[in-house]
Chain A
């Protein structure tokens, strides 16, 4: 079951934005996110907005989705007036690689013909190793993609089984090599750690595989047992143990040590890159308060302090757009207090941290205490920045609660 949408205000049928949100558009980095809501099968841990062919039946197809996407991007151009060219594009899902070279090419062509791409734009697509091939990478590279993010998750077969992942352990590494050979300068592997049954050695082996594949970016996510997933049901029935936070902390440290030693430095709590240039610019936009249009079912957008989100079901999404109506299900206009909270929440996760001056007096006092507790770097604090130490990275959520009292 995909996760639920946040409650919010109704969005206007024409998707119109207040003029306050449009001011300064184009001065900030602008990104486009495209949500591909299709998967061959649902993985037991996943609560993203995605559907299998069996679930969709004849109500929606990649073709109807692509048609909807074109209509939404047309609408986006109308709403934004003079749309800035996209600095970053990120095609995520779901399983974008299921669209194949033709589908992904069509997606990018649509963006080019509506927004256009800024020079040097970062263009990423997620892919599942089992639905890629050497030809696939060559094809999408030629279409204009210059970054791939591959869901490897683990190198241990029994871990992949618990996660319901279909690929064999070696496939992800091979896919990286194929992508490199096809000319991709930026390749990311996703890891999931803390899966029930994953041993420390399993994780070491996964890290070795990641490093041997030669990527310039790694995302490592602790397994979250999301409500409503098959995994949550198995945990609540006692078939699988729930992940233990202390163990997850140990694993995080192992990951950080191993990647760090191999020259991949953390730049966000869950992300490591070989150099500043290898960081994912699109995701940095999320953390730095940038603007982006999220297109596709269930996609989230943010422009100038207004956040909105689309209806989740692909059939409903396509139907609304076919009627010329915005697919937005709800929106919220952030108050100053909310923007402040978000800024602390998001920027604190980054290696550059948060300017101390952003915090109010109570928050600043807490920051000083947190530095004493070893959660914020005292050296950075001395020059006016809140930068997480490694223990601080692991406790970022409760630290944020202290900094925005």
Chain B
């Protein structure tokens, strides 16, 4: 079946570019699926649920990590239109990617669960969309649910975006109810793109994905001019030029086309093998007679959180390196460099956009590459100024400088927390205990509150989100964005086993939290490290000052009394088995520490188990 959307160079006035802003599990992917069906680009029988979410982890976690986009035909009042649905990433760590996706659109559907109301991330992305002057089409989803309260949440949305409650559309992405009307409204309300057709080409990269067969696939939105195959293009941030092997559209499978005109969205293939050569936010232009001014808004991806990743089995180190190499092909924000830990052996110091980015990366390394990993406690980027005016950038407690420190700068973030008003007290208590400063508080409706706090990023990356969830029975949602840095009274706490510091357990914490960290870690380790043939003191120290102490009592008996009636073989085999077990221990000085102790001590949650998959 051929449609109006099959060929490109569509007049801009017939194009509508929009995205869907929604919280995890508020039904964004289901709505996108329904749109694919209603517009006829995917037939019912080939429909796979959540067609647009391609990665397993996304599917499992119910979140979208990498944006996809799709070109859809839609006829309204006898006129054919092309809709570009740009699917935005849905998590806090990917704010920058979200902002670039938004910049590719003129409108956004604000999709909110009619039984739950708006959540913090949605709100943050909504503000981002409003800052980008996007037209907002408010929609309540899941109106078929018995628990839905559309009137209440329509009022809430109207209050937030400044419209009338009647303007809020009501749909069920699951049943399809109201989705046609929604598409009609998108055409009516979202402005058509505008740009200069005769100007030098300028297209903004809003996503970049590595494909094993095709190399990097770059998703762009053309702002001015035309992009056509077989020409050479230039990446304006780096000046690098590439042959354009293919230009195409997604509908919903990739299809080569004659080129892309003003307002159109599609993909480019240049044969480059690494997404860092095709960066989100960058401007693509023609090599000959190209534009001189890039589009605004580009910035280099900057890691916010660092952690050491170590293979549980030291011999897996080359595999880990290979796996990171492969992941980086598809993840421009991931950085890593080799590091050595006395306790954990050879590994990599990895930089991430945030905690979710870390978790997803670790998950993928374990799942897709079959690696067992230990990750150290996440660390933010500190700037340490010494009394002699030298400066150190510290992303690892091991690099904490010795000597007299004048001041320490730590990154802070502005956070938005939305929760039922019953939990305001609990949330305030939590934020205060994490050195938060209240920036403001608004009632979104009678019983839902938005709290704004400025918090040190370091306080959030550890276990803040889990604690917030547990203290609000899962109701609170959280978003944050960078907000510069502040000076703080920070110290490095070392953990010593029998007087030997264990680098993997060192942490940079606020002076007031040092004692708490020290005692918690010491008592955790006392439980986790088996008794040795000698007494093992565990100490927490700031510099040379001991702030906490525990003792692992010496083991007293392990001898097997009998010799099994001359069965010496059995006894020797037992010894050999025990010696094998000993090889799997990490030696800290003379202390044998099982791998599991490191894993459990470094786990963030109480149980010491790995976090359950969300």
Contact = CB atoms under 8 A, between A and B. Distances in A.
Interface stretch (B84-92, B467-475, B563-571): B563-571
A341 B578 contact: no
Contacts of B582: 401
B569 A395 contact: no
B613 interface: no
Given A6-B567, A401-B578, A224 B558 contact: no
Contacts of A341: 572, 575-576
A252 interface: yes
A263 to B, nearest CB: 22
Contact of B559 (A8, A269, A346, A369): A269
A397 B566 contact: no
Interface string A367-405: 001100101000000000000000101111111111011
A57 B558 CA distance: 40
Given A269-B561, A369-B590, A394-B556, A300 B575 contact: no
Nearest to A286: B566
Contacts of B557: 222, 245-246, 248-249, 252, 394-395
Contacts of A51: none
B575 A345 contact: yes
Interface string B63-74: 000000000000
Nearest to B570: A6
Contacts of A300: 565-569
A248 B582 CA distance: 24
A3 B563 CA distance: 13
B9 interface: no
A87 to B, nearest CB: 15
A323 to B, nearest CB: 26
B579 interface: yes
A332 B569 contact: yes
Interface string A316-346: 0000000000000000100000100110011
B507 to A, nearest CB: 31
Interface in B534-576: 534, 555-573, 575-576
Contacts of B559: 269, 393-397
A92 B565 contact: yes
B7 interface: no
B3 interface: no
B561 A397 contact: no
Nearest to A388: B559
Given A270-B561, A398-B533, A309 B556 contact: no
Given A3-B570, A222-B561, A332-B569, 18 more contacts: A6-B569, A6-B570, A221-B561, A222-B557, A245-B557, A249-B556, A269-B559, A286-B566, A300-B566, A309-B569, A341-B575, A342-B572, A375-B533, A395-B533, A395-B556, A395-B557, A397-B575, A401-B578
A346 B564 CA distance: 13
A292 B575 contact: no
Contacts of A38: none
A356 B562 CA distance: 24
B562 A221 contact: yes
Nearest to A4: B570
A221 B557 CA distance: 13
A270 B568 contact: no
20 contacts: A221-B562, A222-B561, A224-B560, A224-B561, A224-B562, A246-B557, A269-B559, A283-B563, A286-B566, A286-B568, A287-B563, A292-B566, A300-B566, A307-B569, A332-B569, A338-B572, A394-B557, A394-B559, A397-B559, A397-B560
A302 B533 contact: no
A6 B575 CA distance: 13
Per CB-CB distance, the 10 closest pairs between chain A and chain B, nearest first, are: A249-B556, A221-B561, A249-B557, A394-B557, A396-B559, A300-B566, A6-B569, A245-B557, A270-B561, A222-B561
Interface of B: 533-534, 555-573, 575-576, 578-579, 582, 590
Nearest to B531: A245
A401 B582 CA distance: 9
Interface in A84-117: 92
Contact of B575 (A8, A48, A369, A401): A401
A35 interface: yes
A342 B559 CA distance: 15
Contacts of B569: 6, 8, 300, 307, 309, 332
Nearest to A402: B533
B566 A294 contact: yes
B330 to A, nearest CB: 45
A266 interface: no
A30 interface: no
A375 B532 CA distance: 12
A33 interface: yes
Contacts of A342: 568, 572
Contacts of A48: 565
A302 B564 contact: no
Nearest to A294: B566
Contacts of B568: 286, 300, 302, 307, 342, 345-346
B582 to A, nearest CB: 6
A154 B227 CA distance: 93
Contacts of B570: 3, 6
Contacts of A401: 575, 578-579, 582
Interface in A267-297: 269-270, 283, 286-287, 292, 294
Contacts of B576: 341
A393 B559 CA distance: 7
Contact of B556 (A245, A270, A345, A370): A245
Given A300-B566, A373-B533, A401-B575, A245 B561 contact: no
Nearest to A373: B534
Contacts of A246: 556-557
Contacts of A400: 575
Nearest to B565: A92
B121 to A, nearest CB: 47
Nearest to B582: A401
A290 to B, nearest CB: 10
A342 B534 CA distance: 25
Given A221-B561, A401-B578, A345 B533 contact: no
Nearest to B590: A369
Interface string A295-315: 000011110000101000000
Contacts of A8: 569
A398 B567 contact: no
Interface in A209-265: 220-222, 224, 245-246, 248-249, 252
B563 A397 contact: no
A198 to B, nearest CB: 15
B291 to A, nearest CB: 69
Nearest to A48: B565
A337 to B, nearest CB: 10
B231 to A, nearest CB: 67
B568 to A, nearest CB: 6
Residue in A48, A300, A342 with the greatest tally of chain B CB atoms within 10 Å: A300
Nearest to A287: B563
Contacts of B578: 397-398, 401
Given A345-B571, A401-B578, A401-B579, A395 B558 contact: yes
A135 to B, nearest CB: 28
B349 to A, nearest CB: 32
Contacts of A307: 568-569
A307 to B, nearest CB: 5
Given A6-B570, A401-B578, A245 B555 contact: yes
Given A341-B575, A394-B556, A35 B534 contact: no
B533 A399 contact: yes
B256 to A, nearest CB: 63
Most buried by A among B566, B567, B590: B566
